[in-house]
């Protein structure tokens, strides 16, 4: 081999088997919620407003796949591989039924159209590897993900996260306190609250019935520092939250354009 000849390095595609069948037409939507740099980030951001169509074929197919995985006790779950492209586009959140997947150690959500993950993911107590990589409309995660105590490895597209260290996009503004009777917590606008319902406290697991306090906190989960949405039932549960990860907003906060974030690091 001559001195000017260089053998190219070949990197394996870890997600080659995580992509479902392709057909004409898109299998997911695009968004520019957080921008791509400090120059393109918008000053105000909001949650995605999409509601899940529970009558869609993709949703019904996903429920069947979850039931099958729960029944056979599989440890690796890659549901979107088995959905057609139109079905994948129909899924904007996972069903609460994922709470049944207590044997799953490796969850792959590669390249999905998801805009939110339900708090029931916290019941997946065997989870060790979490890979929502290139699911570019997932800008935040539920605090309940921290209940997956064995979770040690994650692959997340961090550039699309609220408050990411690369260029610090803003967080959606939250209501710091909502009293009983002010809103029906069973029928919420996901564009305002980040969910279509809040039933239990992210911190203590108890019912949320007297008041709801929403805050953001950035914590390491697996390999990545994630913006986590907390739905707390009391001021005491907010006070019980751990310290945020170093290099991020140093206290739990309610988001909005006035939150002062550390300088971007890239």
Look-up: residue for tokens 């890659």? Answer: 78
In angstroms, the CA 127 to CA 226 distance is 17
**pLDDT of amino acid 26:** 84
Residue 14 has pLDDT above 80, yes or no: no
In angstroms, the CA 97 to CA 107 distance is 14
Domain count, the chain: 1
The predicted-structure confidence for 127-168, as pLDDT tens digits, reads as follows 999 999 999 999 999 999 999 999 999 999 999 999 999 999
- Residue 157: domain span: 57-239
Token pair, residue 178, equals 């909502």
Residue 222 has pLDDT above 90, yes or no: yes
Asked, for residue 189, whether it belongs to a domain, the answer is yes
Asked, for residue 177, whether it belongs to a domain, the answer is yes
**pLDDT of amino acid 176:** 86
Q: How confident is the model at residue 7 (pLDDT cuts 50, 70, 90)?
A: low
Asked, for residue 43, whether it belongs to a domain, the answer is no
Asked, for residue 141, whether it belongs to a domain, the answer is yes
Per cent of the chain over pLDDT 90 is 87
Give the CA radius of gyration of the chain.
19
**pLDDT of amino acid 198:** 96
Asked, for residue 15, whether it belongs to a domain, the answer is no
Contact 137, 161 (CB under 8 A): no
| Higher pLDDT, residue 170 or 210 | 170
Asked, for residue 142, whether it belongs to a domain, the answer is yes
Q: How many CB atoms lie within 10 A of CB 138?
A: 22
Q: What is the mean pLDDT of residues 82-96?
A: 96
Q: What is the mean pLDDT of residues 243-265?
A: 96
Alpha helices in the chain (DSSP H): 57-72, 85-90, 190-193, 235-239
What counts of helices (H) and strands (E) characterise the chain?
4, 8
Asked, for residue 120, whether it belongs to a domain, the answer is yes
Q: Nearest Cα to 255, choosing from 196, 218, 195, 215? A: 215
In angstroms, the CA 100 to CA 115 distance is 21
Mean pLDDT over each residue of the chain, to the nearest integer: 93
**pLDDT of amino acid 11:** 43
Asked, for residue 40, whether it belongs to a domain, the answer is no
Q: Is 217 exposed, middle or buried (0-12, 13-18, 19+ CB in 10 A)?
A: buried
**pLDDT of amino acid 13:** 57
Q: How confident is the model at residue 180 (pLDDT cuts 50, 70, 90)?
A: confident
In angstroms, the CA 102 to CA 232 distance is 24
Q: What is the mean pLDDT of residues 24-42?
A: 90
Q: What is the mean pLDDT of residues 78-83?
A: 97
Q: What is the mean pLDDT of residues 250-254?
A: 98
């Amino acid at each position: 081999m001559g001195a000017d000849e260089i053998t190219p390095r070949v990197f394996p595609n870890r997600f080659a088997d995580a992509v479902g069948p392709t057909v004409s037409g898109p299998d997911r939507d695009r968004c520019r919620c957080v921008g791509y740099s400090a120059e393109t980030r918008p000053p105000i951001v909001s949650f995605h407003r999409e509601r899940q169509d529970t009558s869609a074929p993709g949703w019904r197919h996903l429920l069947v796949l979850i039931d099958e995985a729960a029944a056979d006790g599989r440890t690796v779950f890659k549901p979107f591989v088995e959905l057609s492209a139109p079905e994948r586009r129909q899924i904007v959140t996972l069903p609460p039924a994922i709470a049944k997947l207590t044997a799953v150690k490796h969850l792959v959500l590669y390249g999905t159209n998801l805009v939110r993950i339900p708090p029931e993911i916290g019941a997946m107590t065997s989870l060790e590897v979490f890979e929502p990589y290139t699911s570019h409309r997932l800008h935040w995660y539920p605090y309940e993900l921290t209940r997956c105590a064995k979770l040690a490895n994650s692959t997340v597209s961090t550039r699309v996260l609220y408050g990411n260290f690369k260029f610090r996009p803003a967080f959606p503004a939250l209501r710091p306190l909502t009293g009983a009777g002010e809103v029906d917590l069973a029928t919420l606008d996901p564009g305002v609250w980040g969910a279509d319902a809040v039933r239990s406290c992210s911190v203590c697991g108890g019912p949320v019935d007297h008041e709801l306090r929403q805050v953001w906190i950035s914590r390491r989960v697996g390999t990545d520092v994630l913006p986590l949405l907390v739905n707390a039932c009391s001021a005491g549960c907010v006070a019980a939250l751990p310290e945020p990860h170093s290099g991020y907003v140093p206290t739990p906060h309610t988001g909005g354009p006035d939150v002062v974030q550390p300088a971007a690091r890239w």
